[in-house]
Amino acid sequence: MGDARLGALPDGIYGQDLERRIDETAAALRTRLAELSGLGEPRLAFVLGSGLGSVVELLDPEPRLRIPYGELPHVPVGTVAGHAGEVVAGRAADTTILILSGRAHPYEGHSQRETTILLRACIALGVGTVVLTNAAGGLNPEFAAGDVMLIRDTINLSSDNPLVGPNLDRLGPRFVPMTNAFDQRLRAEARAAATRAGIALREGVYVMLSGPAFETRAEMRMLRTIGGDAVGMSTVPEVLVARHAGVRVLAFSLVTNEATPDMDHEVTHEEVLRMGRIGAERLVAIFRELLPEVAA
């Protein structure tokens, strides 16, 4: 059950216990994928943020398998509107793809080690490229609600890290370099795909806070001052575990609301979902052009 000296990890999920949970989740996922012929070893995984379930329609109609998170061991089930909470497995561009439609968030009471078990299980099955998405507030005053931002870097202000605890040497190194966390070739392909789709693609730095409260005006000023272009409550833990495993990462934020100090109204989750649907159409258009490149 791990090292008793690690009293700072109250969830108890670290070391050998964490490794066991990842393996059991991967085994369960492998068993379910075997139910349909044609779903061979997955090479690509998407993680979808709020309101982005329409990405699933990029998959071929058949074969397609839906697995609710609650049917997989050790996978926390989120409670936030706009997150379907299921793995959708299918084929596109001659590749088996896993779409993690929705995510559980640390602010719902889970550690970052828990919330990344499913993604680590997908990587254990052979996924070598991960595409991450989220809904975010726009700190950059040039951004507007509905914009799509290609993430070029991150700032982790969540006060947690899924790699805390004994290192799982089988999965990756103790110290993970993060200076080039986002694959440069894939980012270039994303820019080209956006151009082909006729979508203006922003680019910037994503800041993760713990949530669930939206930012104060003082926090918005601070986050912009330190270099943030968008702010949200997810994604960074997934970047960390993917890079720990040596997996290529590409990530996008949908700017769903202003997060500037002079904003004239309070942000609501309903606004995030509404604007997310507009941005989702643009992101799906980019993905339609990009899919053959990231699946290669």
- The arrangement of secondary structure in 15-294, i.e. its CATH architecture, is 3-Layer(aba) Sandwich (3.40)
Catalytic pick among 14, 26, 50, 206? 50
The one-digit pLDDT tens for each residue of the chain (296 residues) are: 444 444 556 777 889 999 999 999 999 999 999 999 889 899 999 999 866 778 888 999 999 999 999 999 999 987 765 557 899 999 998 999 999 998 989 898 899 999 999 999 999 999 999 999 999 999 999 999 889 999 999 999 999 999 999 999 999 999 999 999 999 999 999 999 999 999 999 999 999 999 999 899 999 999 999 999 999 999 999 999 999 999 999 999 999 888 777 766 665 656 666 666 777 889 999 999 999 888 86
Task: Identify whether 83 is a catalytic site residue.
Answer: yes
Active site annotation includes 188? no
The active-site residue, picked from 83, 114, 149, 244, is 83
Gyration radius from the chain CA atoms = 18
Q: Is 108 a catalytic residue?
A: yes
Question: Would you call 244 a catalytic residue per the annotation?
Answer: no
Q: Which of 94, 117, 102, 88 is nearest to 20 (CA)?
A: 117
What is the distance between the alpha carbons of residues 58 and 154, in angstroms, rounded to a whole number?
A: 27
206 is catalytic: no
Which residue from 101, 108, 107, 152 is spatially nearest to 122, judged by alpha carbons?
101
CA gap 65, 48 in Å, rounded: 17
Q: Is the backbone peptide bond immediately before 68 cis, with ω within 30 degrees of 0?
A: no
| Residue keyed to tokens 């040039």 | 142
Distance CA 138, CA 71 (A): 35
Check if 167 is active-site.
no
Residue 210 is among the residues annotated as catalytic for this protein: no
DSSP secondary structure of 236-251: HHHHHHHHHTT-EEEE
25 burial level (CB within 10 Å; 0-12, 13-18, 19+) = buried
Q: Could you say which of 27, 263, 269, 271 is catalytic?
A: 269
User: Is residue 105 annotated as part of the catalytic site, yes or no?
Assistant: yes
Beta-carbon count within 10 A of 80 CB: 17
Candidates 145, 190, 233, 251; catalytic one: 233
Residue 91 is which amino acid? Answer: R
- Do 113 and 11 meet the contact criterion of CB atoms below 8 Å apart? yes
Which residue among the candidates 101, 134, 158, 234 is catalytic per the annotation?
A: 234
Tell me if residue 265 is catalytic. no
Please state, in angstroms and rounded to a whole number, the distance separating the CA atoms of residues 8 and 81.
31
Reading the block at residue 202, the tokens are 């922003």
